[in-house]
Amino acid sequence: MNPLTSITGSIILGIIIAIAIALGIAPVQFNELGLARWIHIISGITWIGLLYYFNVVQTPAMASAAADKGGPGGAGVSKYVAPLALLWFRWSAVATWLAGFWYLTYAHTFMSALTLGHGGQDMYGLTIGTGMWLGTIMLFNVWVLIWPAQKKILGIVSATDEEKAKARKIGLLASRTNFVLSIPMLMCMAGASHGLPF
């Protein structure tokens, strides 16, 4: 069977290739910090990629589909695409946060990040901590605001038309908030090790 014909097969193949490359470069070393960072980055790309998809592609497309009276509408996206995308979205958010916690704990920098560099005394802790706190707010929004709203919008849980309208507004605002927060969050995550761009 060709692994490229399924998502699971493709993920496994990518992991196998990555492990083979890592073993080819450093065959006798296990780098837990590197593994935590790698999982954090992969999960984060999945999470933020889906966040950008929802905000830049799906939401505007669904609005256009709803306005197109003679068109196919958005039922296919609502029934098939959105639930699967939201599954990957919410669990990649958890994986990203947990891998980030693992990384900072193993690197002995979690308390500095948690306290924003001990009040600004540690620049790395301040920068990565700002990113961590923004990511934590975003994780909260995913599970406490966006996902409960989407369950009502998609009909996963029963809701009146009024509850669905309220859920649409809450879901949109929480998702857009995450979209906005992702920009400085990504700057802080990259900037902690590589320097801020400004």
* Predicted confidence (pLDDT) per residue in 53-74, tens digit: 999 999 999 989 888 888 888 8
- Provide the residue type at 147 as one letter: W
Query: CB count, 10 Å around CB of 130?
Result: 20
Angle, nearest 10°, between helix axes 82-106 and 32-52?
150
Alpha-helical (H) ranges within the chain are 7-25, 32-52, 59-67, 75-76, 82-106, 110-114, 116-120, 123-140, 147-153, 161-194
* Digit-coded pLDDT (tens) for 115-136: 999 999 999 999 999 999 999 9
* Digit-coded pLDDT (tens) for 160-190: 999 999 999 999 999 999 999 999 999 999 9
Long-range own/partner contacts, residues 57-65 (CB < 8 A, 24 or more apart): 58/82, 58/85, 59/172, 59/175
Is the pLDDT confidence value at 30 over 90? no
**Alpha carbon 5 to its chain's center:** 25
- Parse the chain into domains and list their residue ranges: 1-30, 32-194
- CA dist., res. 189 & res. 65, Å (int): 36
Confidence band of 138 (pLDDT split at 50, 70, 90) = very high
**pTM for the full model?**
0.91
Decide: 172 and 141 in contact? Cβ < 8 Å. no
